Structure 1
C-alpha cells in the first residue's frame, strides 16, 4: 500500500497550460470573471430562454420562487454588468414599474470581451508586480477567509 502511494506521488506532474484551459467554458467565465451567483444565472436563463416578453420583479420572483429583494439585488448586478436591461412600463394601478429583458447576444458578447480584456490587463499587472512576500500574504489571507466560512 505504501509503495502505491509513493509511486502515485512520483507520477504527479505539473499540468500544462492546455490541460488547465480544458476546464474553461462559458459557465466558467460567467462564474469566475463576472462572479455570477446561481440566482443571477437562473434569472438570465429565465429572461433569455423562457420568457416570451420582458418580466417584472414580481413575475421573476414568482417564477423562481424567491423573494423580491433577492431578485432585485440580482437584477441590479445583471443590469450593471450589461447583460440585461430594464424599461419603465405603466402599471395596472396607474404608476410605473420596470420590466427586465436580456440585451442582444452581440452586445453581450462584446461586453464579455471587454471585461475579459480588462481582467487580463489587471491580472497581468498584478502578476508582474508580485513579490514572494505578497504571494505568501495573499495565500495566508485566503486560508483565513476559508476558515471563517
Structure 2
C-alpha cells in the first residue's frame, strides 16, 4: 500500500501549460507547478491490459509473448513459438516490438554447428517498469499535445470561417 506522500499526482504549469506527474511538486518556467485536482468519477482506472494495449500498442498475443519470456528466461523464437502455440512469424514480430520497448533483450548467438540464432531474455522487473514508465510519460506528453491541438483547431476553424455562419451548433431541448 502506498502512503499519501508517495501517491502520484498531476501538476500543471500556469505559464506554459506543461504537465507534470509524480509524488512531489515539480517546477516549470522557474515556478512551482500547481496541483490539478481530478475527479475519480470522470475516468475509470485502466486495467494493466488496457494500459498496455493503449499506450504500447500491445495485443493480447503480444502480452502472452511478453509474460512467457518474463517467466521462461532465455528463449529463441522457435522455442517460444512451440511453448505458447503461436506461429513463429507472429512471435518474432512481437519479440522485436518488445525489444524496441526495452522489455526484453535481443542478442545474437553463434551456433556451434554454424550460423546464428537470436535469443531473447527478460529485463529485470525494475528495468521494465522504468522503461515502460518513460514510454508512458512520453505518450502522456503527446496525448496532451493532441488535446491542446484539438482545442486550437476548433478555435481556428471558428475564427477562420469565411461564410460568417456557425461552424457547429449546440442542440438544446425546447
Structure-1 separation of matches of 2:120 and 2:140: 30
The structure with the largest helix share of the pair is 1
Structure-2 separation of matches of 1:28 and 1:47: 20
Residue 99 (structure 2) aligned to one of 62, 79, 92: 79
Summarize deviations over 1:70-124 as a string: whole Å, max 9, x none.
1111111111111111122232532211111111111111111211211111111
2:61 aligned with 1:33, yes or no?
Answer: no
Structure-2 separation of matches of 1:92 and 1:61: 22
The structure with the largest strand share of the pair is 2
Structure-2 separation of matches of 1:80 and 1:118: 15
2:108 aligned with 1:88, yes or no?
Answer: yes
Rate the CA distance shift 1:123–1:86 in 2: closer, same or farther, 3 A: same
Aligned-pair distance for 1:57?
0.6
Structure 2 match to 1:45: 67
Structure 1 match to 2:30: none
Q: How many residues end up aligned between the 2 structures?
A: 117
Structure 2 match to 1:19: 41
TM-score normalised per structure 2: 0.60
Measured on the aligned residues, the alpha-carbon RMSD in Å equals 2.1
TM-score normalised per structure 1: 0.69
2:144 aligned with 1:124, yes or no?
Answer: yes
Which 5+ residue runs of structure 1 have no aligned equivalent? Answer: 1-15, 135-149
Q: What is the DSSP-based 3-state SS (H/G/I as helix, E as strand, rest coil) of the residue aligned with 2:75?
A: coil
Q: Greater Rg, structure 1 or structure 2?
A: 2
Structure-2 separation of matches of 1:92 and 1:38: 35
Which 5+ residue runs of structure 2 have no aligned equivalent? Answer: 1-37, 157-174
